[in-house]
C-alpha cells in the first residue's frame, strides 16, 4: 500500500472532478492563528486511509477519532502504532479522542438505547487514556450521553477527578454540552468547568448544540475565551428534520452557512472573546456520508476557510 503524504495527495488532486479551487486551500494554509480540525463526524463512514485523504484535501492539520473506530481498526489488525505512523506520514495530528462518557457519576448502561449507540459510548477511562497515549492525542472530549440529571456538585467532583488523572498524562480535557444530555446547554457546562478551575479543562463549543438548546449570547460573552478550547461548526434548518432531536443531530446537520442558524453571529462573538483558535466543522449527516472522502474533506475545508476569513 502506498504511503499517503500531502505531496502525493495534492499531486493527484488536479485530476479530481471537483469545483473547489485550490486557491482556497492555499489561503487556508496561510492562516497563522486558527487550528483547522476535521472532526470525525464528517468522515464517520470512511476507513482510516480515506479519512487521512479527506483531511489533507481540506487543508486540515488535526483530526479527532471515535474510540469505537480505533477499537475496530485494532481488531482488524491495525495497532495504534500503525495508525500513528499513517497520520505522521500525512503530517496530521490527533487532537481529541471523542467522546468519553464514563467520567460521569455512577455511570451505567441504561435500558432503552440501541446496541450501536451503547457500543459507541461504552469505553473506560483506561481505554481512552491508552488510545490517547498511543496516538499522542492532546485532548479527551467528555459528554454525558444519556440525559441523566446530576447535582452540579457531583459533576464538578467527577470531572475534576478525571481532569486530574488526564493531567498526569499530559492530556487536556474538554466538556461538551448537548441538548440531549444531562448537561443540556452552555450554562451548566460552564458552571462545572468554572468550578473545577483547572488550566487543563475547558469547553467544547458546538454550534448545533448551542442553537438547538438555549443560545445565550450574553452568557457566552462573559466566558473567558481561553476556557473554550475547541469549536465545532455545524448548521441546520430551524425546523427539526427527521422524527426527533437525535435524528436531526445525527443525520441532518449541514456545513456552516448552508442552514438557517446564525453561525456568522456566534462566530463573531467567539472571536470577540478570544475563543476562536481551534475550529472545525462537525457535520453528522447522511448527505456528508454519501460523498467520496476527498470531496467531503475539501467541502469541509472550503467551508471552514469561509468562517476563518469572515
CATH number at residue 224: 3.20.20.150
**Which H or E run contains 35?**
strand 35-38
For residue 15, the model assigns a pLDDT of: 43
Domain assignment present for residue 30? The answer is yes
For residue 98, the model assigns a pLDDT of: 99
Q: Which of 140, 141, 150, 142 lies closest to 105, judged by CA?
A: 150
- Residues 54 and 42 sit within 8 Å (Cβ to Cβ): yes
What 3-state class would DSSP assign to 96?
strand
Instruction: State phi, psi for 229 to the nearest 5 degrees.
Output: -80, -40
For residue 5, the model assigns a pLDDT of: 59
- Give the Cα separation of 26 and 154 in Å (integer): 47
For residue 33, the model assigns a pLDDT of: 80
- Give the Cα separation of 296 and 250 in Å (integer): 17
Instruction: State phi, psi for 174 to the nearest 5 degrees.
Output: -120, 150
- Give the Cα separation of 250 and 252 in Å (integer): 6
Domain assignment present for residue 6? The answer is no
Domain assignment present for residue 89? The answer is yes
Task: Kindly give the confidence (pLDDT) of every residue in the chain, 310 residues in length, as a single tens digit, with 9 standing for 90 and above.
Answer: 445 555 555 444 444 444 444 434 544 444 448 999 999 999 999 999 999 999 999 999 999 999 999 999 999 999 999 999 999 999 999 999 999 999 999 999 999 999 999 999 999 999 999 999 999 999 999 999 999 999 999 999 999 999 999 999 999 999 999 999 999 999 999 999 999 999 999 999 999 999 999 999 999 999 999 999 999 999 999 999 999 999 999 999 999 999 999 999 999 999 999 999 999 999 999 999 999 999 999 999 999 999 998 7
Domain assignment present for residue 14? The answer is no
Helices (H), 172-233: 186-196, 207-212, 217-220
User: Which domain does 131 fall in, by range?
Assistant: 23-309
Domain assignment present for residue 18? The answer is no
- 132-165: b (≥16 Cβ within 10 Å) or e: bebbebbbbbbbbbbeeebeeeebbbbbbebbee
Domain assignment present for residue 189? The answer is yes
Q: Which of 183, 203, 206 lies closest to 266, judged by CA?
A: 206
What 3-state class would DSSP assign to 77?
coil
pTM value is 0.90
Domain assignment present for residue 272? The answer is yes
Query: DSSP secondary-structure letter at 2?
Result: P
Q: Which of 75, 91, 73 lies closest to 83, judged by CA?
A: 73
Whether residue 32 is preceded by a cis peptide bond, meaning omega within 30 degrees of 0, is no
Q: Which of 259, 266, 269 lies closest to 303, judged by CA?
A: 259
* Number of structural domains found in the chain: 1
- Residues 65 and 135 sit within 8 Å (Cβ to Cβ): yes
- Residues 270 and 278 sit within 8 Å (Cβ to Cβ): no
Longest dimension (CA), the chain: 57
- Give the Cα separation of 259 and 113 in Å (integer): 29
For residue 29, the model assigns a pLDDT of: 46
Cβ within 8 Å of residue 217, ≥6 positions away? 265, 266, 269
For residue 111, the model assigns a pLDDT of: 93
Domain assignment present for residue 256? The answer is yes
Amino acid at each position: 500500500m502506498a504511503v499517503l503524504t500531502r505531496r502525493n495527495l495534492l499531486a493527484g488532486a488536479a485530476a479530481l472532478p471537483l469545483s473547489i479551487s485550490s486557491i482556497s486551500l492555499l489561503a487556508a494554509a496561510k492562516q497563522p492563528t486558527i487550528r483547522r480540525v476535521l472532526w470525525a463526524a464528517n468522515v464517520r463512514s470512511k476507513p482510516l486511509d480515506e479519512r487521512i485523504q479527506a483531511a489533507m484535501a481540506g487543508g486540515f492539520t488535526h483530526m479527532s477519532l471515535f474510540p469505537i473506530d480505533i477499537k475496530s481498526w485494532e481488531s482488524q489488525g491495525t495497532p495504534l502504532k500503525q495508525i500513528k505512523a499513517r497520520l505522521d506520514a500525512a503530517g496530521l495530528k490527533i487532537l481529541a479522542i471523542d467522546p468519553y462518557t464514563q467520567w460521569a457519576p455512577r455511570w451505567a448502561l441504561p435500558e432503552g438505547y440501541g446496541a450501536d449507540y451503547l457500543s459507541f459510548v461504552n469505553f473506560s477511562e483506561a481505554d481512552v487514556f491508552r488510545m490517547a497515549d498511543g496516538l499522542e492525542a492532546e485532548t479527551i472530549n467528555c459528554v454525558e450521553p444519556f440525559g441523566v440529571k446530576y447535582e452540579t456538585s457531583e459533576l464538578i467532583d467527577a470531572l475534576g477527578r478525571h481532569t486530574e488523572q488526564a493531567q498526569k498524562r499530559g492530556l487536556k480535557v474538554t466538556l461538551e454540552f448537548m441538548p440531549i444530555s444531562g448537561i443540556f446547554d452552555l450554562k451548566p457546562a460552564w458552571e462545572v468547568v468554572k468550578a473545577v478551575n483547572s488550566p487543563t479543562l475547558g469547553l467544547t463549543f458546538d454550534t448545533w448544540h448551542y442553537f438547538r438548546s438555549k443560545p445565550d449570547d450574553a452568557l457566552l460573552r462573559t466566558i473567558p475565551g481561553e476556557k473554550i478550547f475547541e469549536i465545532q461548526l455545524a448548521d441546520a434548518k430551524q425546523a427539526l428534520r427527521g422524527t426527533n432531536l437525535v435524528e436531526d443531530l445525527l443525520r441532518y446537520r449541514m456545513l456552516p452557512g448552508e442552514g438557517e442558524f446564525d453561525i456568522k453571529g456566534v462566530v463573531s462573538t467567539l472571536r470577540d472573546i478570544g475563543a476562536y483558535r481551534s475550529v472545525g466543522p462537525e457535520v453528522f449527516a447522511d448527505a456528508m456520508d454519501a460523498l467520496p472522502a476527498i470531496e467531503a474533506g475539501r467541502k469541509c475545508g472550503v467551508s471552514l476557510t469561509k468562517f476563518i476569513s469572515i
